[in-house]
Amino acid sequence: MGYLLQQLINGITLGMIYGLIAIGYTMVYGIIGMINFAHGELFMIAAFISIISFLVLGLAGIGWVPVALLIVLAATMLLTSVYGWALERVAYRPLRHSPRLAALITAIGMSIFLQNYVQLLQGARIKPLQPVISGGFQFFTDGKFTVTLSYLQILIAVLTVALMLVFTWVINRTALGRSQRACQQDLKMASLVGVNVDRTISLTFVIGASLASVAGLMFLLLYGVIDFFIGFLAGIKAFTAAVLGGIGSIPGAMLGGLLIGLIEALWSAYFTVEYKDVAAFSILVLVLVFRPTGLLGKPDIEKV
């Protein structure tokens, strides 16, 4: 019982990270109908920017954790957004009217490029970080097992919920959100009625990148080690989450992320750790085959 509860807590924490990345996939897919394969690399870049920021702050002697965290968060979101923006501008915008295959291949190329770019600049070795936030509550015990809810997990949950609230407000209430939704419905029509499509798409990438950057920071804090390859698997799992939730649907992405996180945690706990990635991939295949619209996606009737 205690063990299960602990795994649920861990799974939800992990799922929030996947969910934040998945939103980026789902938004970009919703608006320009392509899989931004390099999105996972933005997450990885964010983790690297975070670790560098922590090190620089350490040198500067800023040791008070809340301030340090805020600075790192701001720096990571800002600098990762620049990557998101540049990615769209350089690699995707010229291909907006090209075959989908071309855009996907570009995205794969970009993903390979960014991985190796970071590897060359920062080295291939695993980068460890001292725990920044430690400790937690022990709030439940059933004799054999004590369930711990760490402060870090609370922070991740609070941050995710806060981000989701802000994000929902932006999408539902602001002019940017309106043009974003308009572009999602019909790109051409949106531009005809005066929506600045280029800017909206750019902003979509910036928002996606900044959400992924928060996920990158959380990942770094949670696991304490990163390398240049983390974006690949995290990206695929987040994509699976986006598909599971119904691609194009933002609440779906979060839901899918949470489900993938839970499945992964429970699978590792009760079956085999080695095959946890196989579990994620199998879910992807099963969802695509049996319910291609995902849990919250809209059905799409084949137009002839």
Asked if 285 is part of the footprint of other proteins (rule: CB under 8 A), the reply reads yes
- Cβ closest to other proteins, residue 166 vs residue 292: 292
CB of 114 to other proteins, least distance (A): 7
Closest Cα partner for 196 from 185, 182, 206? 182
Q: Where are the beta strands (DSSP E) in 66-201?
A: 127-128, 136-141, 146-150
Which residues from 258-277 bind other proteins, rule CB under 8 A?
272, 274-275, 277
Q: Are the C-beta atoms of 242 and 20 separated by less than 8 Å? A: no
What would you measure as the largest C-alpha separation in the chain, in angstroms?
66
Asked if 10 is part of the footprint of other proteins (rule: CB under 8 A), the reply reads no
Binding segment for other proteins among 53-61, 62-70, 155-163, 262-270 (CB under 8 A)?
A: 53-61
**Beta 225-226 vs 146-150: how paired, if at all?**
unpaired
Which residue from 8, 112, 262, 295 is in contact with other proteins, where contact means CB under 8 A?
A: 112
Residue 113: strand, helix, or coil: helix
Asked if 205 is part of the footprint of other proteins (rule: CB under 8 A), the reply reads no
Residue 304: strand, helix, or coil: coil
Which residue has tokens 């392509």?
Answer: 34
Site size for other proteins, by CB under 8 A?
A: 70
Q: Which two tokens stand for residue 233?
A: 């698997």
Site string for other proteins, 62-91 (x = CB under 8 A): -------------x--xx--xx-xx---xx
Q: Are the C-beta atoms of 216 and 44 separated by less than 8 Å? A: yes
**Alpha carbons 181 and 287: distance in angstroms, whole number:** 25
- Specify the DSSP class assigned to residue 303: P
Which residue from 13, 115, 150, 160 is in contact with other proteins, where contact means CB under 8 A?
A: 115
- Cβ closest to other proteins, residue 181 vs residue 276: 276
Which residue from 20, 22, 114, 218 is in contact with other proteins, where contact means CB under 8 A?
A: 114
Asked if 111 is part of the footprint of other proteins (rule: CB under 8 A), the reply reads yes
The half-sphere exposure of 261 on its side-chain side, counting CA atoms within 13 A, is 23
CB of 240 to other proteins, least distance (A): 8
**Alpha carbons 88 and 100: distance in angstroms, whole number:** 15
Binding segment for other proteins among 112-120, 135-143, 187-195, 210-218 (CB under 8 A)?
A: 112-120
**Alpha carbons 166 and 126: distance in angstroms, whole number:** 34
- Cβ closest to other proteins, residue 182 vs residue 259: 259
**Alpha carbons 9 and 263: distance in angstroms, whole number:** 12
Binding segment for other proteins among 62-70, 113-121, 171-179, 200-208 (CB under 8 A)?
A: 113-121
Give residues in contact with other proteins (CB under 8 A): 34-35, 45, 48-49, 51-53, 55-56, 59, 75, 78-79, 82-83, 85-86, 90-91, 94-95, 98-106, 108-118, 120-123, 125, 127-130, 232, 236, 239, 243, 272, 274-275, 277-278, 281-282, 284-285, 288-289, 292, 301-302, 304
